[in-house]
Amino acid sequence: MSDYRSSQYPQYGVRPQGQVPFPPQEPQQSGIRRGYTPPSGTAIPRQPMAPYAVYPGSNTPVPSAPSGPRARVPNGNVSRRPSGIAAYRKIIFIAAAVLAVVLIAVFAFGSRPDQAPVRDAVRATVELHYSIFCPGVYVDGLSLGGLTAEEGWTAVRNRSLQKLNAWHVNLTYNGFTNTITADDLGIEPDFSSALDAAWEVGHNFNGKRSDRELYDEIARVAEEPRYFTSKYTAGDLSRIVDIVYTIKKSLDRPPQDAQMTGFYPDRENPFDYVDEIPGLNLDAQALIDRITDLASRLESGALEIEPEQVPPQQTRNSLSLLYTKRGEAVTQISTSSDANRNDNIRLAFSRFNGYRLDPGAVFSFNGIVGERSEKNKFKPAEEYDQGEHVMGIGGGVCQASTTVYQAAVKAGLEVTDRSYHSDKVNYTDYGLDATVSWGSNRKVDLKFVNNTDSPVYIAARVEPGKNGKNSLQTHVIIYGMDLGGTSYDIKSEKTGELVASGGPKYIKDTDGKYATYTDEQVSVSDPKMGYEYMTYREEYHNGRLVERKDLDRCTYPAQPEKIYVGVKKR
């Protein structure tokens, strides 16, 4: 212990006889002795926190936090002082009184030759603070002035555990909240370094500091407080990884493309769809970093989990562009068309109503509709044959083939096989018809190919017409890939006229349909002009004609007068 007795300090008094020398002698220990020896005891464990819960949909449990006491209990003996607020206030009052007396003594007697009383006052102040924290010392914002080592340790421990128990990170998604606590991460308080540093203030650990140095430090910290902060162990941060990847597993999903689920050709909007579902992808590393940052600073917070949306390749809007109306055609059914003829048209349509034609595939009318026979459910009805109206099985089917031909041209499909009648029909103009037949010697077909990159779908029906209450019309619609601003139309123009030559045409009526005897002649048709027509497909871009393409040159020959003659003699 340094002796400050000299002529510079006045004689102010001496230490009472029998007082314990300052500083007290302590047992020698190997290594560096810090001076602050924490008390013995058992740590009080924190209340267990609720286990971490994963989001709905996850079956992967998260390991629970380890149990056990949160803080060590230091060992050693420390002088105790009365605890509590009253004791603290009493000690502070005594310290302040002593400091005041000392300061008065210093200024009043500083010039006197004998300053022993001042030296003894300095010593008294140092001894007063030997077993307590100096006023003006704070750990974690908590004032430790006047507390013994054990009381300071208890107060800081309680404050640290309170802060640790209060720490949490709330992870929120879609109204669900999961909480990460210090228990989940195994974070522990470490306040021994802060307490050691706080105890150093005003205490002579290694015996190298004089009473005056200690006294000056005690006086200085009373006016300029010193603040120390506890630390916390990082815990097992790999648990953050486990927690986040458990959440990621429950949230992540691949995107689902929109799908066309059904084609119902008789509806105005014939296609059904399932909407797309965006995928979800949680940026796990970014969330781990945010939680780790809060844990390292022991700062509570709320984090909204925001997985990135992964767009599907096919949305409903983009998918619907594959199922737009490409072309349609309508032909009026004559009011003179009987029920059988109308049923034949309906039957033919039923064979390809709702038909799907894949890219590159060929539509064959005969191949799909089949033979026009009673066995195939067709009925006898009036049909047009070589300029005459005759009865035949499947009469009326040519109106069905004509309507689907016009729709195919307007849809921009490539027609590969088409024939026209020998004369004008009553349901469309010259050059716009398409005849079909299923004869024993000759078959006439209508064919077109899907020259697009996606399927086309055909709707065909007989529906009420616009020419009166009982009128009917055929209606064929072809759906497929959207044409954008492009559209097509079918047109025909007369390019020439033909005149019949050679007089009337006499036909033997072997069936006795018109004439029976050889001297009977029956005229069944008048002479008729013939015509030549050119059929075009017109292409429009945004309503403006940009191209006219030749499709067919159609020749409708002139018809002489037809006279039937009987074959029987009277």
pLDDT digits (tens, 9 = 90+) for 292-329: 999 888 899 999 999 999 999 999 999 999 999 999 99
Starting at the edge strand that comes first in sequence, how are the strands of the sheet with 362-364 ordered? 362-364, 447-449, 414-417
* Single-letter code of the amino acid located at 244: V
pLDDT at 424 > cutoff 70: yes
Checking if the pLDDT of 113 tops 70, the result is: no
CATH classification (class only), 485-570:
mainly beta
Torsion angle of C-alpha atoms 359, 360, 366, 367, degrees rounded to 10: -90
Which pLDDT does position 421 carry in this prediction?
92
Both tokens of 18, joined, read: 């029998």
CB-based contact 325:459 (threshold 8 Å): no
Mean predicted confidence (pLDDT) in 462-478: 92
Q: Is the pLDDT of residue 194 over 70?
A: yes
Model confidence pLDDT, tens digit, residues 207-263: 788 999 999 999 999 999 999 998 887 677 788 999 999 999 999 999 999 999 999
Q: Where are the domains of the chain?
A: 1-25+33-253, 254-318, 321-483, 485-570
* The pLDDT of residue 231: 85
Locate the DSSP E strands across 248-337: 259-263, 271-274, 279-281, 301-304, 308-310, 324-333
Q: Render 39-60 in DSSP notation, one character per residue.
A: PP----PPPPPPPP-PPTT---
Q: According to the model, what pLDDT value does residue 525 have?
A: 83
φ and ψ at residue 354, rounded to 5 degrees: 90, 10
Going by C-alpha positions, the residue among 556, 558, 422 that lies closest to residue 502 is 558
- Alpha-carbon 120 to chain mean position: 79
- Could you report the per-residue pLDDT of 494-536, keeping only the tens digit for each? 999 999 887 898 889 888 888 888 889 999 888 889 999 999 9
Predicted local confidence at residue 68, as pLDDT: 34
- SS3 (DSSP) at 251: helix
Identity of the amino acid at 326: R
Say how far apart CA 295 and CA 273 lie, in whole Å: 48
The overall average pLDDT reported for the chain is 81
Cβ distance 154 to 209 under 8 Å? no
In three-state secondary structure terms, 173 is strand
What percentage of the chain reaches a pLDDT higher than 70?
79
Nearest to 5 by CA among 121, 104, 130: 121
Q: Is the dihedral of CA 126, 220, 153, 197 positive or negative?
A: negative
pLDDT digit string, tens, across residues 5-36: 232 222 222 333 333 333 333 333 333 333 34
Q: Residue 552: which of 568, 542, 537, 569 has the closest Cα?
A: 537
What is the C-alpha to C-alpha distance for residues 43 and 60, in angstroms, rounded to an integer? 34
